[in-house]
């Protein structure tokens, strides 16, 4: 388990980045995930899905942090609903194409940010290539709930991004 865990770092970081909205906090969350995973390594059952186990730890760590912040009187409440400020880089030298890509990327990010945390998590885990069973394990819910959330989320994203349909 210890040898395979680092291979998931990029996928964990990408998921954390969408959950928390900034690079530094995402890195901290991934580090906390690995610390928790190492501490609970004895509880990991050999032969089970390591990726799903790590994603569940990350999600639980994120939820724990949100709960702690929510109960912290020094944190402003509006901080909880702030949209992530994603970093962007140029994709090609063609400035017009880059501007168009930026607009489309902003629309997609906006559509994703408009989803509830659970719905956004389900679709992002799906994009990571996880099966519905793995997503259910990460989210701590039934497979039927995952199927329902994926269906609703896809429909919502299709509606929000309908102008980009061919």
**Which structure tokens are listed for 137?**
């394990």
The pLDDT tens digits for 122-134 are 999 998 889 999 9
CATH pick for 1-87 out of 1.10.1740.10, 3.10.450.30, 3.30.1280.10, 1.10.3720.10: 1.10.1740.10
- Asked if residues 85 and 135 have their Cβ atoms less than 8 Å apart, the reply is no
Lowest mean pLDDT among 26-30, 44-48, 115-119, 142-146: 44-48
Q: What residues contact 107, with CB distance under 8 A and at least 6 apart?
A: 160, 161, 164
**Between 99 and 7, where is the model more confident?**
7
pTM (2 d.p.)? 0.57
Alpha-carbon distance of 72 to 166, in angstroms, equals 48
Please, what is the average pLDDT of the chain?
A: 80
Tell me the average pLDDT across 114-123. Answer: 90
Provide CATH 1.10.1740.10 ranges for the chain. 1-87
- Asked if residues 15 and 124 have their Cβ atoms less than 8 Å apart, the reply is yes
Q: What residues contact 111, with CB distance under 8 A and at least 6 apart?
A: 156, 157, 160, 161
Alpha-carbon distance of 155 to 135, in angstroms, equals 19
Query: Which CATH architecture does the domain made up of 89-166 adopt?
Result: Orthogonal Bundle (1.10)
Provide CATH 1.10.10.10 ranges for the chain. 89-166
Q: What residues contact 11, with CB distance under 8 A and at least 6 apart?
A: 51, 55, 128
Nearest of 133, 110, 124 to residue 153 by alpha carbon: 124
DSSP-assigned states of every residue in 37-66: HHHTGGGPPTTS-HHHHHHHHHHHHHHHHH
């Amino acid at each position: 388990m210890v040898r395979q865990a680092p291979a998931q770092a990029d996928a964990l970081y990408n998921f954390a980045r969408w959950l928390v909205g900034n690079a530094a906090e995402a890195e901290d969350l991934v580090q906390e995930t690995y610390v928790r995973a190492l501490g609970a390594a004895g509880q990991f059952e050999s032969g089970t899905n390591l990726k799903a186990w790590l994603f569940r730890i990350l999600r639980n760590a994120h939820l724990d942090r949100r709960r702690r912040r929510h109960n912290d009187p020094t944190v402003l409440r509006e901080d909880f609903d702030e949209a992530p400020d994603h970093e962007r880089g140029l994709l090609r030298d063609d400035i017009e194409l880059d501007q168009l890509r930026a607009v489309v990327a902003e629309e997609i990010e906006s559509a994703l940010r408009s989803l509830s945390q659970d719905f956004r998590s389900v679709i992002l885990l799906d994009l990571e290539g996880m099966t519905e069973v793995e997503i259910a394990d990460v989210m701590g819910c039934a497979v039927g709930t995952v199927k329902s959330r994926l269906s609703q989320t896809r429909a919502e994203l299709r509606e929000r991004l309908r102008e980009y349909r061919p």
